Structure 1
Amino acid sequence: MDIEIIKCLKDNYSYLIIDKSTQGACVVDPSEAKPIIDTIEQKKINLKYILNTHHHYDHVGGNLELKKKYNCEIIGYKDDKYRIPEIDILVENNEVWKRDNFESKIYHIPGHTTGHIAFHFFKENKIFTGDTLFSLGCGRIFEGTYEQMFNSLNIIKKLPKNTEIYCGHEYTLQNSKFCKINDPKNIKLKNKIEKIKEKLKKNLPTIPSTLSEELECNIFLRAKDLESFSKLRDLKDNF
């Protein structure tokens, strides 16, 4: 399974998940269609599925154009039936979605939105976390509660430590500044920041991160309880 990281809009990432044996593909959170189409045509692959983590326009903006052009199916959470454009397949928490050679466990991880999900390709140790977990950060709480977001992050924390994290935005450097202020003695964080800067200088994505790195460096995953997490989230909102 190959993953193509595609930059969209200002700082969004969409991901093409390509089955090398068939050249079939899924796309995760296509915020706009053109960059996705360009990569599909260049790679000569067959787009079969659109996987949406949540309904926000910067994650579903390319749905309709891609569906019309490639006749692919759109997958999203059951409670977002009326919020994700032309959704075809409704998935539930802890369901294993399996089509062709693609197999992913669905986690309902509300907080950023009430219908947010993650797609965990457990055989490949890769998870697509949308706007719930970022590298060195977590999403703003728009529709859910602090408790929901804290619990959602705890679900991800229990995955194997070598799991690769593919998130929805290139926020890593900005997130690192907040982590550094609140965790100034963290040597592993300082080392990660240097690697982040090197990647960005080369115009490379800082994604994927690994769960192991996030557990060591992400201040939100290091919060011991709901109270401390909530305080951090409030501070970050005004950072």
Structure 2
Amino acid sequence: MTLDLVTLPALSDNYTFLLHDDDSGATAVIDVPEAAPIDAALRERGWTLSEIWLTHHHADHIQGVEALLAKHPAKVTGARADTHRLPPLDRAVSDGDSFTFGGEEVHVMDVSGHTVGHIAFHLPGSTIAFTADSLMALGCGRVFEGSMEQMWDSLQKFTVLDPETTICSGHEYTQKNAEFALTIEPDSSALKSRADAIAAARARGEPTVPSRLSDELATNPFLRAADEPVRRNLDMMDAPAAEVFAEIRRRKDAF
């Protein structure tokens, strides 16, 4: 089964995503930073919006929902735990829930940390995960509401997915993330190569999102807090992985 995935830039550095099933005609959008680019993309392709999936309550992920619904009535899905901070939901979901889209199962993952109630949507059949501000390309979201340990635990949920999974995150932060990652693993040839490719893509005005999970596992310092090279470089060989992660996150916050 193949679903069409369209990556759309929005606002200054956000991304939103369209997911379309040719057989049923169903179309979902994941997060709505603003309505205009989504409306334009739907009209250009002749697609009818059927679903809106929301990952968390921050304005830059939901503020376009009302305007989009005014033109494209659709079923809204979001976290049950965040109902009080999201637009009105037609389907409230929790960790471990699943639903069907285009004949494929969509698994809901609680990935709290950036916010409490942040969820991700994983489609194992298409090897796609919509991670928003949890796992990001060469980074992760700031820990605003949850704890560092909670964020570390959330990120670990992605490490067991198929390494070929396409990671659809919420922002074009990758080049800055790469610059920071090199302060954590300056001798990593894989990271250096990826950083060079990212810089070249940005120079051409190309997006760096989505990314591939295998690349994140190999180069993203926030997934590598348990790995020896990272621990050694931080002089934290005997520290629990969650503490190493917290140190990396604190350094990034000040970077």
TM superposition score normalised by structure 2: 0.91
> Which residue of the partner structure matches residue 41 of structure 2?
39
Rounded Cα–Cα distance in structure 2 between residues aligned with 1:209 and 1:42: 25
**What percentage of aligned pairs have identical amino acids?**
38
Rounded Cα–Cα distance in structure 2 between residues aligned with 1:58 and 1:87: 18
> Which residue of the partner structure matches residue 57 of structure 1?
59
The secondary structure found in structure 1 opposite 2:161 is coil
> Which residue of the partner structure matches residue 98 of structure 2?
96
Amino acid at match of 2:190: K
Q: Which moved more, 1:101-110 or 1:71-80?
A: 101-110
**TM-superposition CA deviations, 1:148-184 (whole Å, max 9, x none):** 1000000111111111101000000000011001100
Q: Unaligned 5+ residue runs, structure 1?
A: none
> Which residue of the partner structure matches residue 219 of structure 1?
221
Rounded Cα–Cα distance in structure 2 between residues aligned with 1:228 and 1:161: 23
The size of the alignment, in residue pairs, is 239
CA RMSD of aligned residues (A): 1.0
Counterparts of 1:3-14 in structure 2 under 5 Å? 3-14=5-16
Deviation at 1:200, TM superposition (A): 1.5
Q: Which moved more, 1:108-117 or 1:13-22?
A: 13-22
Runs of 4+ in 1 over 6 A off after TM superposition: none
Deviation at 1:216, TM superposition (A): 0.6
Counterparts of 1:201-220 in structure 2 under 5 Å? 201-220=203-222
Q: Is the 8 A contact 2:11 2:34 kept in 1?
A: yes
**TM-superposition CA deviations, 1:103-152 (whole Å, max 9, x none):** 31000010000000000011000100010011110100111000110000
Relative distance call for 1:125 and 1:100 in structure 2 (3 A) is closer
> Which residue of the partner structure matches residue 230 of structure 1?
246
Q: Which moved more, 1:203-212 or 1:109-118?
A: 203-212
Rounded Cα–Cα distance in structure 1 between residues aligned with 2:52 and 2:168: 16
Rounded Cα–Cα distance in structure 2 between residues aligned with 1:102 and 1:70: 23
Q: Which moved more, 1:19-28 or 1:110-119?
A: 19-28
The secondary structure found in structure 2 opposite 1:81 is helix
The secondary structure found in structure 2 opposite 1:82 is helix
Q: Is the 8 A contact 2:112 2:150 kept in 1?
A: yes
Rounded Cα–Cα distance in structure 2 between residues aligned with 1:102 and 1:65: 28
Rounded Cα–Cα distance in structure 1 between residues aligned with 2:69 and 2:82: 18
Amino acid at match of 1:216: A
Amino acid at match of 2:40: D
Deviation at 1:100, TM superposition (A): 4.3
> Which residue of the partner structure matches residue 180 of structure 1?
182
Amino acid at match of 1:153: L
Q: Is the 8 A contact 2:21 2:102 kept in 1?
A: no
Task: Please say which structure displays the higher CA radius of gyration.
Answer: 2
Rounded Cα–Cα distance in structure 1 between residues aligned with 2:179 and 2:99: 37
Rounded Cα–Cα distance in structure 1 between residues aligned with 2:144 and 2:90: 25
Q: Is the 8 A contact 1:129 1:168 kept in 2?
A: yes
TM superposition score normalised by structure 1: 0.97
Rounded Cα–Cα distance in structure 1 between residues aligned with 2:252 and 2:99: 34
The secondary structure found in structure 1 opposite 2:49 is strand
The secondary structure found in structure 2 opposite 1:199 is helix
The secondary structure found in structure 2 opposite 1:16 is strand
Q: Which moved more, 1:197-206 or 1:146-155?
A: 197-206
